[in-house]
Amino acid sequence: MGRYFFRRFLYSLLTIWLIASVTFFMMHAIPGGPFTREKAIPDEILRVIEAKYNLDAPLYEQYFDYLKGLVTFDLGPSFQKVGTSVNDLIVAGFPNTAKVGFFAILAIIVIGVPVGIVSALKQNKPLDYIVMFGATLGVTIPSFVIATVYIYIFAGKLGWVPPFGLRNAVSYIGPMIALSGYSLSFVARLTRSSMLEILRADYIQTARANGLSEYSVIAKHAVKNAVIPVITYLGPTIAAIMTGSFVVERIFAIPGIGRYFVESVTNRDYTTIMAVTVLYATIYVFMVLLVDIAYALVDPRIRFEKEKA
C-alpha cells in the first residue's frame, strides 16, 4: 500500500515536471516576447532589458534556471508588473481564490451529494422532479450568466450585496453560487444516478433481508458505494475551482489569481504564465492522487487490487 502511493507520488512529480517543460517551450515558441510593443523599443534598450531578465541567454540555460527556481519556489520577477515577483502575485491572489473556492467546494459536497441521495430515494416523486429540474437548469446556464444575473438582481436592483470585491460575508455568496452552480448540479445528478444503480444491487437486498434498518441500509451500505463516481469527479473539479475561474473572478472583481491566466498569456509574461500553469498542474495532480487514496479508503476491492499490483 505504502509503496504503491510512493510510486504514485513520484509519478505525480514527473507529470508536473513534464507539464512545466511543455509550457515553457510552447510559450517560447510563440512569436513575440514580453517586451514586444506596437511601438518598437530601440534595440539597445531592448537588449539591456533582456539582459536584465536573462532573456538573451540560450534557451536551455533559461530552462535550467527556471527549473532551479521551481524547485526552490522562486518563480522569478514578473515581466509586466515591474518590481513585483511572481511569488508576490500568487501570495496576494491565491488566498482570495482559495477562500471563495473553499466555500464553493463545501457547497458542492454539502448540498450536492445529499440532494442527489434524497432525490434517488424519492425517485419519480414530485421532490425528485423538482430537484432534477433544478439540476438540469444548473448544468445548462453558464457561470457568467449566473454571476451577471445575480449582480443585476441583488446588487443592482435590490442593493442587498456589494456589486464587487470581497468586503463582508455576504459578498461571498455570489461568487460561491456562480462557481459551484454547474458542479453542484452535476454532482447531484451523478449521485442520484449512481445511487439508483446501487439501490438495485443484490447486496442491498441482502442487507434488507437481514433485517437491517432502512437508515443503516442507506447510510452504511448504499451511500458509501454511491459516492465513488462523485469522488472521481471532485478531484479535477476542486483543482479547477481552487485555481480560480477567471470569468467569475472578473465579474465579481475578486483580486484572485484567475485573471493572470488570461492577462499573462496575452502579455507574454513568461514567469507568471509558468507559475500559474505549474500551480494549477500541481494542485490537479495531487487532487488526483488524493482521489486515489480516497478510493482505496472507500472501496476495499480497489485497495486489494493495488496491494496485489
Partner 1 sequence: MDASKFVIIDKSTLIDTEPVRQSLTYWQDAWRRLKKHKPAIAGLIGVIFIILFGFAGPLLSSVSYSDQDVDFANLPPVLNLYQMDEDIYVFLTNDYKLIQVSRSGMVLEKYKRIEQDPVNKIYTYANAARDIEVVLDFSYNLLPGKMDSPYDYTLTYNNSVVTESTRRVLNKKYPFGSDIVGRNLLIRVMYGARISLTVAFVASLVNLFIGVFYGSISAYEGGRTDIIMMRIVDLLNSIPLILYVILIMVVFGNRGLWTMIIALGSVYWVVMARLVRGQVLSLKEQEFVLAARALGVSRNKIIRNHLIPNAIGPIIVSMTMMIPSAVFTESFISFIGLGVSAPMASWGTLANDALSGLLSYPYQLFFPSLAIAVTMLSFNMLGDGLRDALDPRLRKG
**Residue ranges binding partner 1 (CB under 8 A):** 15, 18-19, 22-23, 26-27, 29-31, 136-137, 139-142, 144-145, 148-149, 151-152, 156, 240, 243, 246-247, 250-251, 261-262, 265-266, 276-277, 280-281, 284-285, 288
Closest approach of partner 1 to the CB of residue 44, in Å:
28
Please give the grid coordinates belonging to residue 130.
Answer: 423538482
> Which candidate, 286, 279, 287, places its Cα nearest to that of 261?
279
Rounded to an integer, what distance in angstroms lies between the CA atom of residue 52 and that of residue 79? 11
Rounded to an integer, what distance in angstroms lies between the CA atom of residue 14 and that of residue 18? 6
Closest approach of partner 1 to the CB of residue 279, in Å:
9
Closest approach of partner 1 to the CB of residue 98, in Å:
16
Closest approach of partner 1 to the CB of residue 200, in Å:
12
Spatial CB neighbours of 142, under 8 Å, sequence gap ≥ 6:
182
Closest approach of partner 1 to the CB of residue 286, in Å:
10
**Nearest residue (CB) to partner 1, 217 versus 242:** 242
| Cα angle for residues 301, 302, 305 (degrees, 5° grid) | 90
Rounded to an integer, what distance in angstroms lies between the CA atom of residue 147 and that of residue 142? 9
Question: 520577477: which residue's cell?
Answer: 77
**Nearest residue (CB) to partner 1, 217 versus 291:** 291
Closest approach of partner 1 to the CB of residue 204, in Å:
19
Spatial CB neighbours of 82, under 8 Å, sequence gap ≥ 6:
none
**Which segments of the chain does DSSP mark as H helices, in order?**
2-29, 43-52, 59-71, 86-107, 113-121, 126-140, 143-150, 173-199, 202-209, 214-216, 223-226, 228-242, 246-251, 258-267, 270-298, 300-308
**Nearest residue (CB) to partner 1, 178 versus 207:** 178
**Nearest residue (CB) to partner 1, 93 versus 221:** 93
